[in-house]
Amino acid sequence: MVRRPILGRAVLTILPVTMSCAESSSPQPSVDASGTVDAPTGMDVPFDGTDDEPEGGPTGYFITGELAGVVRFAPYNIEPKPPNYTLIEARIAPSQSASYWSFNSYDPMGPFPVTASCGDDIIFYLQFIDKETSPPHTYSSRSTMGSCAFTYVEPSSPDVYEGTFSAVLLRADVQTYFAVTEGRFRYPRWKDGGR
């Protein structure tokens, strides 16, 4: 398995809020003693036929984090977006009707690590849309006490952005805030001249 080092961690100070958390029996992301981060263990990650099992789905890209006591591992439908307006959506299954993470930020410029927070700009936000409920539940940082912080680390390849994140997201239908922990991401860069 290819291992990629994580050089930084997001630090988030959470103001007092009402939080609702459940016990998690879901698989947890693995971090070894050297600080290497892999996709969560125990996930059904497809094997691509090469000698190395991919770390985050068919392409090796993923967004994952624990929200409301459940690890939300999303390795599907991740595509590069044009520079400076990076809307990344990552689904937990191949179907367009699957639950998904969504975050929007500017592409970071080095030197790394680079940390960006939701308050840095109006366009920077994090959401999770849980489509396994009816109606779907939307958890969003775009609220009075919502927050998020992403730390982009030195990329393991010039073709990717990767790092860690944490957040406090509002589930609007119940007016309750939930912490996001163990957040990790890897997504492709937009190549010069196109994808």
| Residue 120 main-chain phi, psi, to 5 deg | -70, -25
Q: What single-letter DSSP state applies at residue 12?
A: -
Q: What is the pLDDT of residue 190?
A: 80
pLDDT digits (tens, 9 = 90+) for 80-123: 777 766 789 999 999 989 999 998 887 788 899 999 888 766 67
Look over the chain and give the mean of its residue pLDDT values, rounded to a whole number.
Answer: 74
- The answer to whether residue 33 is domain-embedded is yes
Residues 128-177: tens digit of each pLDDT: 999 999 999 999 999 889 999 999 999 888 889 999 999 999 998 999 99
Show the domain range for 125.
29-46+53-188
| pTM for the full predicted model | 0.70
Please indicate, yes or no, if residue 11 is contained in any of the structural domains: no
Mean pLDDT across the stretch 61-71?
A: 96
CA atoms within 13 A on the CB side of 194: 0
Please name the residues in contact with 192: beta carbons below 8 A apart, sequence gap of 6 or more: none
The number of folded domains in the chain is 1
Q: Is residue 5 part of a domain?
A: no
In a domain, 20, yes or no: no
Q: Which has more pLDDT, 186 or 106?
A: 186
Query: 6 in a domain, yes or no?
Result: no
